[in-house]
Structure 1
Amino acid sequence: MPEISDTYASLHPSFVSDGVLELLFDAPNLNAVSAEMHADLARIWRDIENAPDVRAVVVRGANGTFSAGGSFDVIDEAIEDPAVRTRLYQETRDIVFAMIDCSKPIVSGIRGTAVGAGLVVGLLSDISVVSRTARLVDGHTRLGIAAGDHSVISWPLLCGMAKAKYLLLTCEPISGEEAERIGLVSLTVDDEEVDTRALKIATRLANGAQDALRYTKQALNYWYRDNGGAFDFSTMAEMFGIGGPDIREGLASLREKRPPRFV
């Protein structure tokens, strides 16, 4: 579809089989999400919904990893500028709600690192195919801000409240194998099989009964919609924290590869 590929260059959209559109995270610093990519992720799902030749989507990362999350440059800008925080808040809402509202099946293939904004797309996908050795972590509280993005709307449903609280409060990284065990992801395979398996599943869905698949997805996603208020609060709290003091220390500690010293 020319309009999608022309408009969303940061996501490298291309058809990889009949009816299956691939989105590719391919960027510096372990496919970190830039300001352009974040804005594209906020808008592309509604165009996918309205594209008649897209019947399923597969999302993966280039160079053996999924995504290291939001780029430090974007965080630096947000710390200094309230207008950037407002924009990020709106874009984050648009990413989450547009993925939930998109009726077409979305499959993610996760290898290597999956953090932050990249993890949002990986785990809000309808089916997540993950390498056994992948490293998943929600790094918000380690950075010094509330766990916003997608986690509050989805993690308690995926893996239960007790595990969600443990992982989100401690920022404990988990392997793909452990993520499957607790129900956070759909299935795990060996690293070299991730992309092939994700595409195979997306192709199967693209060839399936479209009304049946889409209505089933939409019905299931009412569980997410029912928790929209909690998501809104968490994301607003995240943006509030970006304007506070803890994130400066959290970001500095990540850059200097040391434990944070929060006061």
Structure 2
Amino acid sequence: MTTQRPWLNPVTYDRYTFMKVEVTDGIGVVTMNSAETLNSIGPEEHREMEDIWLDLARDESIKVIILTGAGRAFSAGGDVKRMAARAGTEFGLEYALRVPQNTLRLFEHMLLVPQPILAAVNGDAIGLGMTVALFADMSFVADDAKLGDTHVKVGLVAGDGGAVVWPLLVGPQRAKEFLMRGKLLKGAQAAEMGLVNYALPREDLMAETHKIALEIAANPLWAVRWSKAAINKQLKAQLGQILELSIAYEAMTMMTHDYKEAATAFSEKRKPTFKGY
């Protein structure tokens, strides 16, 4: 008698356009696939990122996931041009009201994935793009990549995960320095301060990340998965305690004059004039 194992049924990713999945030898390479926009994340891309982790979690053909970006950037984060277009509009208000639940879904789903996630940050990672990289289980970055969370520069609280993960990795004071200044740093600096695991020459990044992925994949499956699950308890607790508040603050800043001005000024390549409301 043959015992059926429904969890071994193949998972397909045909419905995704922004997220591309390729599986070879148990390694799933997940690529944010919009090089022409520097893999920026608007509402449609965000929805794909929320959903894809659930499919990856049940894909038994994948032992380790590598997350990367197409082209010269990992991800530029939120699409500022689209932000400027919806700022102060009825659609912008509807969007802001949905931001907290959408963001919570993205990171809750990401943390549900049992397979280790290795971020191969092949280029600049800004704002939400950087936060996604830091929520991976390990982050390997190109040494010349520009990294940081610049929410404050467009009038927003770094509420979509940055306020959760930065303090865990570099401590509250360092986190406040970078999140309140919107300061960027190079990949090599990020590795030196412990924000990421390693900084590597750009041309070596994918090969080295793949090498580590294969090493992890060769280890006993449940020893790896449950090690991840145990360590992630703290991150899940922090997510539950902080994200709902921080993302609500971000949603409120989306309704301010200064946010609209910052986003518009960015698109028009001029200096913003802030009014404090």
In structure 2, do the counterparts of structure 1 residues 101 and 119 end up closer, same or farther at CA, with 3 Å as the change threshold? same
**Would you say the 8 A contact 2:10–2:59 is kept in 1?**
no
Counterpart check, 1:87 vs 2:98: yes
TM-score by length of 1: 0.93
C-alpha deviation, 1:3, in angstroms: 4.3
TM-score by length of 2: 0.89
In structure 2, do the counterparts of structure 1 residues 252 and 74 end up closer, same or farther at CA, with 3 Å as the change threshold? closer
Partner of 1:207: 218
**Counterparts of 2:165 and 2:65, CA distance in 1:** 20
**Counterparts of 1:210 and 1:158, CA distance in 2:** 26
Counterpart check, 1:220 vs 2:231: yes
**Counterparts of 1:130 and 1:62, CA distance in 2:** 14
C-alpha deviation, 1:42, in angstroms: 0.6
Q: 1:191-202 maps to which residues of 2 (within 5 A)?
A: 191-202=202-213
Percent of aligned positions with the same letter in both sequences?
A: 29
C-alpha deviation, 1:77, in angstroms: 3.2
Q: 1:5-24 maps to which residues of 2 (within 5 A)?
A: 5-15=13-23, 17-24=24-31
Partner of 2:86: 77
Alignment-mate amino acid for residue 30 of structure 2: L
Counterpart check, 1:259 vs 2:277: no
C-alpha deviation, 1:224, in angstroms: 1.1
Tell me, what secondary structure is at the counterpart of 1:183? Answer: coil
**Counterparts of 2:161 and 2:119, CA distance in 1:** 15
**Would you say the 8 A contact 1:96–1:149 is kept in 2?**
no
**Would you say the 8 A contact 2:139–2:197 is kept in 1?**
yes
After superposition, the C-alpha distances for 1:114-133 in whole angstroms (9 at most, x for unaligned) are 01222222111111110111
In structure 2, do the counterparts of structure 1 residues 79 and 205 end up closer, same or farther at CA, with 3 Å as the change threshold? farther
Alignment-mate amino acid for residue 51 of structure 2: R
**Counterparts of 1:73 and 1:94, CA distance in 2:** 24
Query: Unpaired runs of 5+ in structure 2?
Result: 1-8
**Would you say the 8 A contact 1:4–1:44 is kept in 2?**
no
Partner of 1:64: 72
Partner of 2:241: 229
Q: 1:110-121 maps to which residues of 2 (within 5 A)?
A: 110-121=121-132
Q: 1:244-255 maps to which residues of 2 (within 5 A)?
A: 244-255=256-267
**Counterparts of 2:18 and 2:258, CA distance in 1:** 31
RMSD: 1.7
Counterpart check, 1:34 vs 2:46: no
Tell me, what secondary structure is at the counterpart of 2:73? Answer: coil
Tell me, what secondary structure is at the counterpart of 1:202? Answer: helix
Tell me, what secondary structure is at the counterpart of 2:210? Answer: helix
Alignment-mate amino acid for residue 262 of structure 1: F
Matched residue pairs, number? 262
In structure 2, do the counterparts of structure 1 residues 4 and 33 end up closer, same or farther at CA, with 3 Å as the change threshold? farther
C-alpha deviation, 1:256, in angstroms: 2.5
**Counterparts of 2:193 and 2:270, CA distance in 1:** 29
